[in-house]
Amino acid sequence: MIDWKATQARLGVTPDGIPGRGTYTALLRVVGPNADAKVIKSLANACVVHLPAYGVDQSVTRLADFLAQTANETGGYRVFVENLNYSSEALVRTWPSRFTPASAATVARKPELIASRVYDGRMGNTQPGDGWAFRGRGMLQLTGRANYEAADRRLGLGLDTDPDLAAVPALSLLLACDFYKDRKVFAALDRGDTDGARRICNGGLIGLEHVNKLRQRLLTVLR
């Protein structure tokens, strides 16, 4: 359990033991100090509603990981849509099995073409343009028609017809909570497997060092 009064005192928030918008605003600022104030306000309001509903706030481990992972994926809650504006060198480095220097040069700095080359025909993308339409969005980079449709079946947000909704900060937080529940991230965390939690969220361990740094920053105020 989280000692909210102690956490609030460390955050400089009135220690009433009730994690409201002010508490979550301060927590989000720990890992998103440069995020837009309106975005933080929207996320804090969503935290009050969705984190208890999904059990994110049931333990220090769960909450610290959730905030660390989502802050990492959004550049501190500043970017909610995948940036596909790659140079040719970055394309070869990021997707060496998909690009040669010559093929990368034909699509470099052309995000829509890059999305088609990288994502079309994968992750349920079956229609022309699906790679771009269902590119990564939200706090955990929801990607691919199949994943958008699966999330929509669970939440009923209309993502299949309006995928841009996944980049709305408050909705992206709900989607992240849903992901943690659906993909059993909580189970990994509850047995102490933070590396495993990263593998589920990332598909690998890219960014693990930064996530761990953010987690430690959060742990200084959560326990």
What's the CA gap between 201 and 147, in Å, rounded? 13
What's the CA gap between 17 and 15, in Å, rounded? 6
Please give the pLDDT value at position 109.
98
Q: Is 186 helix (H, G, I), strand (E, B) or coil?
A: helix
What fold, for 4-79+166-222? Lysozyme (1.10.530)
Q: Are the C-beta atoms of 2 and 63 separated by less than 8 Å?
A: yes
Please give the pLDDT value at position 97.
93
Please give the pLDDT value at position 10.
98
What's the CA gap between 115 and 43, in Å, rounded? 28
Encode pLDDT of 78-90 as tens digits: 999 999 999 999 9
Domain with CATH 1.10.530 in the chain: 4-79+166-222
Encode pLDDT of 22-36 as tens digits: 999 999 999 999 999
Instruction: Spell out, as residue ranges, where the chain has pLDDT lower than 50.
Output: none
First to last CA, the chain: 10
Contacts of 84 (CB under 8 A, 6+ apart): 111, 112, 114, 115, 118, 135
Please give the pLDDT value at position 54.
98
Residue ranges in the chain assigned as alpha helix (H): 4-11, 21-31, 37-54, 60-73, 88-94, 101-107, 111-119, 130-133, 145-155, 169-182, 185-190, 194-202, 208-222
Please give the pLDDT value at position 42.
99
